[in-house]
A and B are shown apart, each in its own frame.
Chain A
Amino acid sequence: MRARRRALSYLVTLWVVVTVNFFLPRLMPGDPLAALLDPQSSDYVFDPEVRAALAAYYGLDRPLLEQYGRYLWGIITGDLGRSIRLNLPVAQLIAGRLPWTLLLTGTALLLSSAVALAMGAESAWRRGSWTDRLLATGSLIVSNAPVYFVGTALIILFGAKLRWLPLAGGRTPFARYDSLLAAVLDIGRHLILPALTLTLSTLGAKFLLVRNSMVSVLGEDFMLVARAKGLPEGRLKWGHALRNALLPFVAHLAAHAGMTVTGALFIETLFNYPGMGRLIFESVGARDYPVIQGVFLVVSAVVLTANLLADLLNARLDPRVREA
């Protein structure tokens, strides 16, 4: 029942995103073409006849409802328009970039979750100690620093000063790989710094969440009972306390997934990483609106899907949520 309601609200939100994406350029002053071709750019079309022809080509002379219908149909069939800058289908551009973003986001999400759970549990277990305070303050500082600033610090240290890791990119340019292993190693080497940056900058919020929910679990009666039963400390900490502190963490995983994706947009720009964020950056510079819109749609869809999955996972872990 609940799953169905969640899925429904997911679809409604997705529809809102798609619709906003359609109406935004049409709400701009001037005609929609003005949004398509920036009047300040050098390739702005002044000839009214050409403009009319262009409008007809893009179907902008049809009634609004028909345009909307065509737009929806285009999205369903995977047509997101054409890039003005590269004259390629937007869908094709995005398909080339999406795996990189997913790789980066997925790695960081897994890594930061694992570290946050271990660190948060440890910190709560020794609450009030120096370790606890140091971890709490440190994570607050790192998670408040802008991601691109954290990233720059890592590039300077590991890339420019120590020269251990590549400065930028997703793989070595023009490299030809002899084996699958060589390819994996090269891509992995390029992934380390961006993934580390993203992990660090998303770690703080997760850590504080785990720590605080663990602290409140530790005060529960069942913990006292478990301790009175004489269970070993490890069982108490990981089996009883963390298992229960996990629930709020999973409930917030959706929000964290969204934060990780947006963080990735900045980090890719900084590291020249060939994902969606880099694509946004390149398109913003060239005022390539169809690409910006396409990226917005796909990123939104990814974030919303992550929300839905986290929600369903939460219901699976916590019977109380399932009943509600």
Chain B
Amino acid sequence: MGRRIGADLLFGLTVLTLIGATALLAPVLAPYDPRAFSGQPLERPSRAHLLGTNDVGQDILSELVYGARVSLIVALGAATGTVVLGALIGGFAGYIGGWLDGLLMRLVDGMMSLPRLPLFILIAAFIGAGVPQTVAVISLLFWPTTARIVRAQVQSLRQRGYIRMARQFGGGHLYVLTRHILPQMAPLLISGVVNAAGWAVAMEAGLAFLGLGDPTAKSWGLMMRFALNLPGLLLTDRWLWWLLPPGLCVTLLVLALTFVGIGLERHFHPRLVRRGR
């Protein structure tokens, strides 16, 4: 059986590429500077403002285009942070073993039983919810999930014949880790990055929605917050071009990441999926 790319993976990658391209080309694509007051407040969609303007007269389409940058930066940053921390700690614990491994895994258990979203809100309320803070807090709260998976994998790899052989022939720890263990971990780490990115996007949007967003970097979540702050928004049809587009964008991005995650899993471990049938 050839390794064909599944429909879910294709859909996910396409949406990600589109959003990525939008973020990169934002200055070219956006008709206005998203911060400039380019029209009257609360204009309806017109040729000049395809999605109308917000309550202070900024072009909504431009905000939407630039919002892609915020969401993607948070997603990339938090996903990298989570996976790097998780891989380092989990890999170290699994490779070293012994009491240090036991201690680190107790820490992982403890952190995983903490209610993470309430904790996240509390921390964000204290240190503010700028983009760097959001990335740091997500990484610090979510590394244990990756650590646990990585540790299990490293532990099983360490017992394999060829790895023990490499050690017997005098291969150093660093050599074995980079040469034999890391390449085996790649699929796992890639899925980890994708999953963490999905959480990060949803978290950032959720925090912004609760009023804990970074006011200097207007994300899609924050756009929704501002739209909902307008009294009676839902009673007119204004939500159609102000609330719906950012909501759809967040949904699409999270969905694309989920599909890529599922698709990759299927791509890397076809047997795992077939067993479930």
Contacts and interface: CB of A to CB of B under 8 A. Distances in A.
- Specify whether A and B are partners: yes
Interface of A: 9, 12-13, 16-17, 20-21, 24-25, 28, 35, 127, 140-141, 144-146, 148-149, 152, 155-156, 159-160, 167, 212, 215-216, 258, 261-262, 265-266, 269-270, 280-281, 284-285, 287, 289, 292-293, 295-296, 299-300, 303-304, 307
Interface residues of B, number: 37
A149 B113 CA distance: 28
B118 interface: yes
B127 interface: yes
Given A262-B118, A299-B115, A152 B251 contact: no
B211 interface: yes
Most buried by A among B123, B209, B277: B209
B99 to A, nearest CB: 19
Nearest to B259: A140
Nearest to A213: B276
Contacts of B202: 146
A101 to B, nearest CB: 12
12 contacts: A9-B113, A12-B110, A127-B277, A141-B255, A145-B251, A146-B221, A215-B277, A258-B115, A265-B118, A289-B125, A296-B119, A296-B121
B206 A146 contact: yes
A13 B113 contact: yes
Contacts of A215: 276-277
A-B residue pairs, 9 tightest by C-beta: A149-B247, A262-B117, A303-B115, A145-B251, A296-B122, A299-B118, A300-B115, A144-B255, A160-B234
Given A13-B113, A146-B254, A281 B210 contact: yes
Contacts of B198: 144
Nearest to B124: A284
B251 A149 contact: yes
Contact of B125 (A12, A159, A292): A292
B122 A266 contact: no
Contacts of B115: 17, 258, 261-262, 299-300, 303-304
Interface string B250-277: 1100110010000000000000000011
Contact of B126 (A16, A25, A216, A285): A25
Contacts of B224: 148-149
Contacts of B250: 145-146, 149
A266 B210 contact: yes
B233 to A, nearest CB: 9
Interface string B95-127: 000000000000000100111011101110111
Nearest to B224: A148
Given A146-B206, A262-B115, 8 more contacts: A16-B114, A127-B277, A146-B202, A146-B247, A149-B224, A160-B235, A266-B206, A299-B115
A17 B114 contact: yes
B228 interface: yes
A47 B138 CA distance: 37
B9 interface: no
Nearest to B258: A144
B113 A296 contact: no
Contacts of A212: 276
A148 B125 contact: no
B89 interface: no
B209 A269 contact: yes
Given A265-B117, A280-B210, A28 B127 contact: yes
A110 B249 CA distance: 31
A307 B113 CA distance: 9
Given A148-B224, A149-B247, A266 B118 contact: no
A28 B133 CA distance: 13
Contact of B211 (A13, A265, A281): A281
A320 B210 CA distance: 43
Contacts of A146: 202, 205-206, 209, 221, 247, 250-251, 254
B75 to A, nearest CB: 14
A24 B122 contact: yes
Contacts of A156: 234, 239
B243 interface: yes
Contacts of B72: none
Interface string B164-193: 000000000000000000000000000000
B196 interface: no
B131 interface: no
Contacts of A12: 110
Given A28-B127, A146-B205, A300-B118, A159 B255 contact: no
B83 interface: no
B238 to A, nearest CB: 11
Nearest to A143: B258
B276 A216 contact: yes
B212 interface: yes
A13 B126 contact: no
Given A144-B255, A146-B251, A167-B234, A284 B210 contact: yes
A203 B205 CA distance: 21
Most buried by A among B117, B125, B202, B235: B125
Contacts of A289: 125-126
Contact of B119 (A20, A141, A265, A285): A20
